[in-house]
Chain A
Amino acid sequence: MQTTSSTITRRQFLRRSTVATAAMAAPSILPSHVFGESAPSKIITVGVIGAGNIATAHLDALLGYADSVRILGICDVDRERRESAAARVNRAYGSNVCRAHADFRELNRRADIDTVYICTPDHWHALNGIDAIRQGKDIYIEKPMTLTIAEGRALVEAAQRHQRVVQHGTWQRSMKRFHDVVSFVRSGEFGKLERIECPISPNNRHIGATWVPEPVPEGLDWDMWLGPSPWRPYHSLGCHYNFRFIAANASGQITNLGAHCLDIGQWALDMDRSGPVEVEGHGDFPTTGLFTTAGTVDLTFRYASGMTMRCFTSYEGGGNNSARFIGERGWLDIGYAKMSASDPKLLRELQARHAGVRIPSSKNHYDDFFAAVRSRQGTIANAETAHRTTTVCNLGTIAMTLGRKLRWDPVSETFVGDEMANRLRRRAMRAPWSLA
């Protein structure tokens, strides 16, 4: 087995990518037709909604675009987070151009903001994103694109109606190794593909069987944090990062991590406008305590071609966001930090040019987004693609919740013969929030 290993964190990857492509961003290098009607020298202005963990990484990267991007607004329902993030940006710029907002609607309505980065918990994605789109903003939206299948389709339609650019936070699409494996597989040069496997980490948050509600901290608008999700009392462990493990706000590791590797699988299977036709498996849900998403999962998605993609909890290597492609010639395991194969020859072939397929590529997820903003062309991870990947995750969540095999029609986007599953394609929003 040949292994190529480079241990980098996601933040390091984003930073290196920005530095490496700073020259690329210079207008004199890019052909003028790329920019359409917008002048290459136009600064793209950015607002960021959600100033938590992933937003910090985005700010690291965006501040590296000193000549072409300006961050003008930070929104968060937590005063300390929004003020410290805005202050950080202003220190970097040496000015007070960046303002802090408590309400995303205020940020989205700023005429001086071109694009919005949506870095809020999953239950907010659809509202934040569709509102921004309706206000004429292009959006970079973190994965999973939406909490429910219905929200996803609504966001796709909104982007189409308002002709807005959408980039999904599935940044692995802008890594060469993933483009290589997709090309390798789709060209047929990898041979007959038998199945894809995507390991993910288990939920890593635990709490006792019961919990005691806590006073809401000073400066946190808990009602706004909950937003469209059902009311519950505040607990520090049920806020901010841990939203991932509470079913009212997210779907656990299948959307937190699975969205990355399942996205690569969808890409390799050329399913960016479709999806599986069947899902089965199980999840082990905690029956007590604050956290309600499955702690471990094992799901198999079956496509009309017979191909299967399995997403399962692994305690070894789940942190690599990897997808393993298993075929008649052996296997390739491609992750953002490490690659390996059953045969070193496969790794060499992986990196060669693959004839017969032309698959859109991107060298940098930010550059790709900004280029699309200027040219009005599509991104590498557009809204439809994002919705289809997120739907795979949601199909898995619904199958685990109901504990049974489900059949799915990717054309009508409905479950076949399962009314209960169909009802779970959407959720009511807490008043006064709605997509209307």
Chain B
Amino acid sequence: MSSTPANIPVATTPVIESTPVPKSYAKSIATTSDPWDVCLTLEYGGDRSFAWSIHQQVTHTPPASWTQVEDRLLASLAVPACTAAACAFFCEMLALVGSARSVPVLASLLRQPNTRESARYALEAIPGAEVDTALRDALAELTGDAKAGLIGTIAARQDAAASSAKPSPR
């Protein structure tokens, strides 16, 4: 795994208050080959093979087991050392398997500048009224481009709901 070049700023890590760090992440990342651990340090341009391993695991998880992989993704997002690139990746995976269980964590990330985009991408894909509520609740707190993005997500979810209610023209 390559180290971050000196002239590239280190990505700020998300801090999720109130979520305890799982014991499984207490051990040193440098001594483990667990892709989940290594992926926490993912950087743009870095070795993404560990992320690919996780991608394969997530996409091949049967629906009955989505909760387990969802929990693992949420635990990864809770790690303070999780880089911006890693956060974006874990949120991309949550978009595939996430449920209402992910909403509290994602709603918190939605309110942080470094993670709000990635969190919104995941929320947009996760079905359920809990997501709609979380998005509406965040509307009053965001401004500028972030608010525009949120409005776009709310509109896209309404479109998706409307589209699913009618068959396409033949």
Contacts and interface: CB of A to CB of B under 8 A. Distances in A.
B32 interface: no
Interface stretch (B70-78, B101-109, B117-125): B117-125
B1 to A, nearest CB: 8
B12 interface: no
Contact of A411 (B49, B146, B156, B170): B170
B133 to A, nearest CB: 18
Contacts of B168: 153, 410-413
Nearest to B5: A212
B145 interface: yes
Give the secondary structure class of A's interface: loop
B34 interface: no
A232 B2 CA distance: 17
User: How large, as a class, is the contact surface on chain A?
Assistant: 35 or more
B160 to A, nearest CB: 7
B24 interface: no
Contacts of B150: 431
Interface stretch (A48-56, A189-197, A421-429): A421-429
Give the secondary structure class of B's interface: helix
Nearest to B164: A414
Interface string B28-40: 0000000000000
B97 A430 contact: no
Interface in A296-352: none
Interface in A132-151: 150
Contacts of A231: 117
B170 A273 contact: yes
Contacts of A419: 63
B45 A431 contact: no
A434 interface: yes
Interface in B10-67: 44-49, 52, 56, 59-60, 63
A432 B145 contact: yes
B152 A288 contact: no
A431 B97 CA distance: 23
A305 to B, nearest CB: 15
B45 A235 contact: yes
A393 B74 CA distance: 32
Given A153-B168, A230-B117, A434 B153 contact: yes
B152 A420 contact: no
A428 B120 contact: yes
B137 interface: no
A433 interface: yes
A220 interface: no
Contacts of A246: none
A353 B150 CA distance: 56
Contacts of A154: 159
A153 B162 CA distance: 13
Interface centre among A230, A285, A402, A420 (most CB of B within 10 A): A420
A233 B146 CA distance: 19
Nearest to A215: B7
A431 B118 CA distance: 11
Interface centre among B47, B49, B125 (most CB of A within 10 A): B125
A274 B152 contact: no
Contacts of B8: 212-213, 233
19 contacts: A153-B168, A209-B49, A213-B44, A230-B118, A287-B48, A288-B48, A288-B49, A411-B167, A420-B59, A420-B96, A423-B95, A428-B156, A429-B156, A431-B117, A431-B150, A432-B149, A434-B148, A434-B155, A434-B156
Interface of A: 150, 153-154, 209-213, 230-233, 235, 273-274, 285, 287-290, 384, 401-404, 410-414, 419-420, 423-424, 426-436
Interface of B: 2, 5, 8, 44-49, 52, 56, 59-60, 63, 88, 95-97, 117-118, 120-121, 124-125, 144-146, 148-153, 155-156, 159-160, 163-164, 167-170
Given A287-B52, A402-B59, 14 more contacts: A154-B159, A209-B49, A232-B44, A235-B45, A273-B169, A289-B48, A412-B164, A412-B168, A426-B156, A429-B152, A431-B117, A431-B150, A434-B156, A435-B152
